Amino acid sequence: MVHDDSSTFGEQHGVPCVLMRGGTSKALFFHLRHVPPPGPARDAFLKRAMGTPDPLQIDGMGGSRLVTSKVALIGPSTRPDADVDYTFAQCDVERDLIGYDANCGNISSAVGPFAVDEGLVEAVEPLTVVRIHNTNTGTVLVARVQVRDGKARVTGDCAIAGVPGTGAEILMDYTDTRGAKTGRLLPTGQPVDAIALEDGREVRVSIVDAATPCVFIAAESLGLHGDELPPAIGGDRALIETIGEIQARAGERIGLYAHWRDVHLPGLPLAVIVAPAGHEDSDLRARLVFLGKCHDSMAGTGSICTAAASRVPGTLVHAAAGDRLRGEVLRIGHPLGVMAVKVVAQPGAALPQFTALGLQRTARRLMEGVVYVPAETA
């Protein structure tokens, strides 16, 4: 369990923390009481702890990639229908930025085990249900955590693409996250919108909000096949700038930004490039871009939104999956494999109401200790 005291070490200030893997991401986990209140002091502390901005994050705990430059802040719940509050922070790597406008589905899967191991919830064997209030989106997620001897289990036979080996299954339920940021599954009211770009091109997109807002773009409209790997997408600066413009214009359209020019390579809405599946065991292909970089695999919240969009007739996701849409699972092909998302929608409604929307993840406590930052930062 994390020690409950901060410390001074020479000219540095030490703060207790835990390094955890959640799904295909890693984050520093802090008890809310150990970090500064919201504002510039908190941002400065978190960026210093992570080593941002620096491409290598050599002077901090970050791993030089967006998937390893994440923070989770955990505290007692401020809502009667949840057990813990969880605030997610995304530290940019090369830019002096930290964002709180979205949640990370992969890191969310480590919140339940952290809450169990830290005694924030009563450990019930063999399964502990942890209700998680994500403060970024104002929604409640439910994690079903396997428990043995009072601690979260880590061994099991659940395998997820992008993580070596297997682990104990954690079931994440996102059914309550429809319209997480905007209050509407289709924030514009349309399954497809046309976005005019500065260079005169017009791109058709689907803007959907479940777990987090996403703007879906057909691969062919960007001159892609959908099977490109992250270095090819991230290395094409003109392509990244185009995707960033689409994100910013879509964000303006749904009220995230006053004007699209105010943001450059934004985090929200996540951009998801979709294409029909090839020969792999999937229902469609997806490549996810945020903060100007292509995700190494597939974000948890992005996969939830993709699954929800697949059940909305007329969206680009529904079209990309085509006749592969069957059963209660959407299989999303991403650069490191296939992610399966359970999605069950009530039939007959104009817009689907979901009775199941979730995914399997694994998580593991990697280290606990004290992270040090120069005293003037703390």
Structure-block tokens of residue 374: 């120069």
User: Residue 369 phi/psi, 5° resolution?
Assistant: 175, -145
pLDDT at 344: 92
Per-residue pLDDT 10s for the chain (378 aa) are: 665 667 788 899 999 999 999 999 999 999 999 999 999 999 999 999 999 999 999 999 999 999 999 999 999 999 999 999 999 999 999 999 999 988 999 999 999 999 999 999 999 999 999 999 999 999 999 999 999 999 999 999 999 988 999 999 999 999 989 999 999 999 999 999 999 999 999 999 999 999 999 999 999 999 999 999 999 999 999 999 999 999 999 999 999 999 999 999 999 999 999 999 987 689 999 999 999 999 999 999 999 999 999 999 999 999 999 999 988 999 999 999 999 999 998 876 678 889 999 999 999 999 999 999 998 886
Strands 84-91 and 70-76, by their bridges, are antiparallel
pLDDT for position 5: 66
Q: According to the model, what pLDDT value does residue 327 have?
A: 87
pLDDT for res 1 = 63
Task: For helices 300-310 and 105-117, give the axis angle rounded to 10 degrees.
Answer: 120
Whole-number Å distance between alpha carbons of 88 and 91: 10
DSSP for residue 220: G
Omega cis (within 30) before 126? yes
Write down the pLDDT at residue 13.
Answer: 94
The per-residue pLDDT for 206 is 98
- The total number of residues written for the chain in this structure: 378
Contacts of 210 (CB under 8 A, 6+ apart): 174, 177, 178, 179, 180, 185, 304, 305, 307, 308, 309, 354, 357
DSSP per position, 336-374: TEEEEEEEEE-TT-SSPPEEEEEEEE-EEEEEEEEEEEE
Which tens digits make up the pLDDT trace of 191-245?
Answer: 999 999 999 999 999 999 999 999 999 999 999 999 999 999 999 999 999 999 9
Provide the β-strand partners of residue 356: 344
pTM for the model stands at 0.88
Reported as a single tens digit per residue, the pLDDT across 56-99 is 999 999 999 999 999 999 999 999 999 999 999 999 999 999 99
For residue 1, give Cα distances in angstroms to 113, 155, 268. 12, 19, 34
Distance CA 306, CA 211 (A): 10
